[in-house]
Amino acid sequence: METIITQGRVSIDGKTAFLGDRIDGTEQIRIDGHQVKLTPQEEDICRVLMYNKPEGEMCTRKDPEGRATVFDRLPPLESGRWVAVGRLDINTSGMLLFTTDGELANRLMHPSQKVEREYAVRVFGEINEAMLQTLRTGVKLEDGPARFQKITYRGGEGRNHWFHVVLSEGRNREVRRLWESQDVQVSRLIRVRYGDMDMQRQLPLGGWTELGLKDVNYFRKLVQLKPETQSKVKVDEKAMDNAKSRRIRRSVKKHQQRHQQANRRRRK
């Protein structure tokens, strides 16, 4: 915004705005000649989405190569924008949260809050108890010491094994780097829990669902923010059923088809 203001693209009641100008909310604000709707912060409703990220999507708003991003299918907002709570790399799938409240997003991501993230991970290689104990105790990565708070074996055969691992911070590729420190390759990685909130089993890949007031306030309380009093979700809305899951799947399929068509036109 500071860059846009210094470029002279913002006006207040018809006069060019300058850095440091203050407003009380009654003025007419325009950016590039287009009027901006101002919403008092206290009137904003904190909204939270749960998104089931597929592999192959980028955690960025736009990709110069035209690849799909996690923001492509999110519902439009009258004001503000969706903020991703952390990131998942392109080869990681699973639970990704979005919110309209930047402070909530920042607190949920910050290491000082120690919010747990749980991942299902399939590894390829020879695993032994000494190796697992090392990962629980901690190893030194290039950006400092790291460890899994909990490791649970979930089965496997041959050299492929599934584990559930828990972290309380979200450093870049931390799960993969921890396993790689033991010369073990990660072949699948899925986030299945954030805090005490599990991924909804019936939410299809590429689908999103908005959380109700109770769940929104769970996350707000988790990071010491005052509770929200309003919600865009109906109070009597039930948990996801098969019919809702099918509707989301149809919507995801239509979006994928539109994205594929757009990519074909771009290549032409």
From 233, 244, 134, 165, select the one nearest 200 (Cα to Cα). 244
Angle at Cα 122 formed by Cα 107 and Cα 189, nearest 5°?
A: 35
Which single residue is written with the structure tokens 């691992």? 165
Cα separation, 6 vs 203, whole angstroms: 44
Angle at Cα 175 formed by Cα 217 and Cα 97, nearest 5°?
A: 25
Is 89 tagged catalytic?
A: yes
Q: Please pick, among 13, 63, 89, 198, the residue that the annotation labels catalytic.
A: 89
Cα atoms found within 13 Å of the Cα of residue 29, Cβ hemisphere only: 14
**What angle do helix axes 213-222 and 102-109 make, rounded to 10 degrees?**
50
Q: Which residues are catalytic?
A: 89
